[in-house]
Every structure is written in C-alpha cells, then in structure tokens.
Amino acid sequence: MNYQLNINWPDFIKNYWQKRPLLIKQGFTNFIDPISANDLAGLAMEDEVDSRLVSFQNGSWNVTHGPFDSYDQLAKTGWSLLVQAVNHWHYPSTALIAPFRVLSDWRIDDLMVSYSVPAGGVGPHIDQYDVFIIQGLGRRHWRVGEKIALKQHCPHPDLLQVEPFAAIIDKQLEPGDILYIPPGFPHEGYSIETSLNYSVGFRSPTSRELFSSFADYLIANDLGNYHYSDPDIATRDNPAMILPTELTEIQHIMQQLLAQPHIFNHWFGTFISQSRHELDIAPPEPSYTVEQVIQLLCQGNTLYKLNGLRTLNVADQYFVNGEQLISPKLNITAINILCEKQEIHADMLGNALNDKDFMQLVTKLINDGYWYFND
C-alpha cells in the first residue's frame, strides 16, 4: 500500500510542529486499514509483542498486559486493545510510517495500533512526545486541550491521567482523518463505534536517558579515565569549602568527553539506532554466501529491510541496531541506499554489486537477520 499524505510540510513545521495540535481532515484519502482487527488480536497473543488491554467498567479502570490467550471475557463496550510496534511484526503496516519519514528516521519511534469497541479509550492524559493519530475503521471522538498545568492522578498503577480540561479541538474522526498532538497537550479519545487507530509516535529521549546511556558507553568502552588534578591547589580557611574554580574544573572534565566528536558521535549512533521494542530477527539457516546474495539479486529477487530496523547516518558513520557498519572502504552511495530504502533491487545498487567489500557487508547483514529475501 502506498499512502499519500495530504499535508504541506513547510507550513506544518512552521506553524504546528511542537507548537499547536492540528486536525487534518482526510490526511489520507480513501484510507484502507493495513491490518485487520483479527490480525491485531493475533499479534497481542505473541510473547515478543508489547500489548495491553485497557478497560473502564462499573466506574473502575483496569489494565491487563499481554500476551493474551483469549478475549472471550471482554464486554461489548468500554475497552481498547493497544499493541506497540506493530510495524515490527506486520509488514503492510510499515507503509503507514513512510509518509512521516520527512521528519527523520531517528525521531520516529514506532506505530502503535489500537482496536476499540464503543466507549473504549484510555482516559484523558498527556504524552511527552509528538504523535500523529490516524483514524482507520470506524469513528472516534477526540478532545484536545491547551498546554497548561493540570493535576495528574493514577486511577490504576499503569495509567496516568489528568483532570478534566477545556477543549480547543473537539471533533469526530472518520477514516483517513489525522490528529497531530505535540508534547504536553492533554487529550482523550473514545470510540463512537468499533474502530482502529494508528499512532505514529516520535522518539524524544530525556536528558536522563542520554546521560545514563553515555555513562554506560564510557564504562563499556573503558573511556573517560581522566583523574582530576590541581597542581595549583588553593589553600582555604574552611576545609569543608569547595571553591568555584574547582567546580568549574570538574565540569570541564565532564564537558571534555562530550566535546570529543569521535566519542560523542559514535556513542549517539549506537544509542539512537537501537530500537526500544523487540525486532523479529531470524538469521537464515544455512547462512548465505556472497555469491548467493549476488545471484539472487541479479535474478530479480527483492532484498527487504527488517521491519522496524533503525539504520542511521551520524556524521558520516552508519549504524544499524546499535552497531556501526565497518568495511575496509565504504561505498557511500550504496550504503545510503541500503539504509534509506525498505526494499532493495539489483538495479538500485548498480556497480556496487561488483564491490567485494560492500557485498561482504551486505551478506553479513543478511546473515545477522537484518535484511532478508522473501523466500
């Protein structure tokens, strides 16, 4: 499926991105759901898939986490099934991510899909990331409020909701409509009828995540073993006092590590190219040889990138799922094609098929389960 998004990107970024919510009527015209409710329910039965059921019955909220073995006990109203990273497990659903890649792969997180019966929802809440909510099957009523301070509470240990708010958007969404919500804007949605919703979420790491990951990287790579030194130490009347110049030197030691591009760029590439959700990695058995890979491509076979695989370019270094691509001599044009495209054909690679180093790298990636032929 080739989804064409009806949006003026320059205008959207200038006026709405991380600024204001926006309802895009018929963002996708003649919208067709990429997944059925039955297939979504089947995914939620798998151990590797992150899923949950959220229900509101008899004035009480409840959350149950998958995998699920049956749905027979569910009521006819008041519940939603939410499945994370559906694009990792269901190939047709990856097509819904493609129109949003204008905003950069490193910021896109995953595609969450929810199936809701009438009155199903998760209550009023606030997210700290950008999200495009695409209406599929059925209709859903959405309310979005201003970005103001609101009291939060937990009606269930796994649910964080906010107090009632005045709406600046109060609309019913129909198939193909898209609701964009920036971080910090309260919102709530309830199904009017049985419906499917698709949420394209954007990754927004916190400073705590970044510092924690950077510290782990330094330890794992035995970096940053600089000792504090003070050859011109100042004496002081109060031995309990730490002088401002000493604090500045401590900050300088830490900032020095962040300021070294070869350390910072490599760390960020390994960090940001890792998926936050499981990948359906299945290395081929037996492994492919370089000759077999070339032959299959030349015979017209398509090489597919693993669903949800993060392939990123950081300062002319290439990273795949937390690993840097290393080759004696990188074929930059071919590597860019490999990282950018979801499907690879022989004519896209051109002379790179004769590049021994490149084809050895491609074969290794296939044998690692990151790219595959659809046998």
Question: Of 328, 308, 319, which is closest to residue 272 (Cα–Cα)?
Answer: 319
Amino acid letter, residue 6: N
The pLDDT, as a whole number, for residue 327 is 79
The pLDDT, as a whole number, for residue 329 is 80
Classify 201 as helix, strand or coil: strand
Q: Residue 331 CB: number of other CB atoms within 10 A?
A: 19
Classify 147 as helix, strand or coil: coil
**What are the structure tokens assigned to 113, written together?**
């899909």
The answer to whether 185 and 145 are in contact (CB under 8 A) is: yes
Question: Of 308, 290, 353, which is closest to residue 88 (Cα–Cα)?
Answer: 308
Q: How far apart are CA 210 and CA 23, in angstroms?
A: 32
Q: Which secondary structure element, helix H or strand E, spans residue 191, and what is its range?
A: strand 187-191
The answer to whether 178 and 133 are in contact (CB under 8 A) is: yes
Give ranges for CATH 3.40.366.30 in the chain.
Answer: 290-373
The pLDDT, as a whole number, for residue 370 is 97
Please report where in the chains the tokens 């600089």 appear, as a residue.
226
Q: How far apart are CA 90 and CA 135, in angstroms?
A: 18
Q: Residue 164 CB: number of other CB atoms within 10 A?
A: 12
Q: How far apart are CA 163 and CA 131, in angstroms?
A: 21
Give ranges for CATH 2.60.120.650 in the chain.
Answer: 9-202
Classify 284 as helix, strand or coil: coil
State the virtual CA torsion across 217, 219, 223, 227 in degrees, nearest 10.
130
Q: How far apart are CA 45 and CA 96, in angstroms?
A: 23
What is 290-373's CATH number, 3.40.50.150, 3.40.50.300, 3.40.366.30, 3.60.110.10?
3.40.366.30
The CATH code of domain 9-202 reads 2.60.120.650
Classify 47 as helix, strand or coil: coil
Distance, C-alpha 312 to centroid of its chain: 13
Q: How far apart are CA 202 and CA 106, in angstroms?
A: 9
The answer to whether 321 and 279 are in contact (CB under 8 A) is: yes
* Predicted model pTM: 0.93
The answer to whether 62 and 55 are in contact (CB under 8 A) is: yes
SS3 per residue for 316-350: CEEEECCEECCCCCCCHHHHHHHHHCCEECHHHHH
Per-residue pLDDT of the chain (375 residues; tens, 9 = 90+): 899 999 999 999 999 999 999 999 999 999 999 999 999 999 999 999 999 999 999 999 999 999 999 999 999 999 999 999 999 999 999 999 999 999 999 999 999 999 999 999 999 999 999 999 999 999 999 999 999 999 999 999 999 999 999 999 999 999 999 999 999 999 999 999 999 999 999 989 999 999 999 999 999 999 999 899 999 999 999 999 999 999 999 999 999 999 999 999 999 999 999 999 999 999 999 999 999 999 999 999 999 999 999 999 999 999 999 999 987 788 899 999 999 999 999 999 999 999 999 999 999 999 999 999 987
342 burial level (CB within 10 Å; 0-12, 13-18, 19+) = middle
The pLDDT, as a whole number, for residue 326 is 86
